[in-house]
């Protein structure tokens, strides 16, 4: 897969999750009485599960080529990202089929991890002019999913 095309995978998954949610397709884990916000959240977490599992494989099995596609050199960071991604992916799949406590519990590390990863990618763009597709296009995912989760959780959770 070319670097430019692979850079579109994560933004595409976020868009696909929203398209399925907004068109009313029944989400995995759907329960009678789910509000639209809950359906949207289930779709986002479902696709997040796939993305994070995919990320785990890419950052471990294909560590060198993944680092190169980001514009970085292999230095072991990929295996840490692979481990975190595996946990976030499994946790996302679990949360899809459970309630609000599971949604909040998995959303908090996703929001913090992706937001800070996005900040790091922005720093790379500004300081090093690193416009590699997997360093720039990923910003849609890095900021889009956390923002989506925050808005949806705020509409669901009673603080």
Q: How many residues does the chain have?
A: 159
Cβ atoms of 96 and 45 within 8 Å: the answer is: yes
Cβ-based neighbour number of residue 81 at 10 Å: 20
Q: In the prediction, which pLDDT does 117 show?
A: 95
Helical axes 36-60 vs 77-96, angle rounded to 10°: 150
Return the higher-pLDDT residue of 125 and 4: 125
Q: In the prediction, which pLDDT does 36 show?
A: 96
Coil, strand or helix: which one is 50? helix
107 token code pair: 């959303």
- Tokens 């690193």 found at: 130
Residues 39 and 21: their CA atoms lie apart, in Å, by 7
Q: In the prediction, which pLDDT does 134 show?
A: 84
139: confidence class by pLDDT, cuts 50, 70, 90: very high
Return the higher-pLDDT residue of 10 and 144: 144
pLDDT at 1 over 60: no
pLDDT at 5 over 80: no
pLDDT at 95 over 60: yes
Return mean pLDDT, the chain. 92
Average pLDDT estimate for 138-150 = 96
Closest CA to 156 of 43, 37, 33: 37
Q: In the prediction, which pLDDT does 78 show?
A: 86
Average pLDDT estimate for 37-53 = 97
Helical axes 100-128 vs 139-156, angle rounded to 10°: 150
Q: In the prediction, which pLDDT does 33 show?
A: 93
How confident is the model over 65-89, as pLDDT tens digits?
888 888 888 887 889 999 999 999 9
């Amino acid at each position: 897969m070319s670097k430019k095309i692979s850079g579109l995978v994560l933004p595409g998954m976020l868009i696909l999750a929203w398209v399925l949610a907004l068109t009313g397709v029944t989400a995995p884990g759907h329960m009678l009485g789910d509000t639209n916000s809950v359906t949207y959240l289930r779709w986002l977490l479902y696709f997040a599960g796939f993305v994070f599992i995919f990320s785990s494989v890419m950052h471990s099995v294909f560590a060198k080529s993944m680092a190169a596609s980001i514009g970085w050199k292999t230095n072991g960071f990929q295996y840490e990202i692979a481990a975190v991604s595996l946990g976030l992916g499994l946790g996302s799949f679990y949360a899809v089929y459970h309630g609000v406590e599971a949604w909040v519990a998995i959303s908090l590390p996703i929001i913090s991890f992706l937001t800070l990863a996005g900040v790091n990618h922005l720093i790379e763009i500004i300081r090093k002019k690193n416009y590699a597709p997997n360093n720039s296009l990923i910003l849609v995912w890095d900021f889009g999913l956390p923002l989506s989760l925050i808005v949806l959780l705020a509409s669901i959770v009673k603080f």
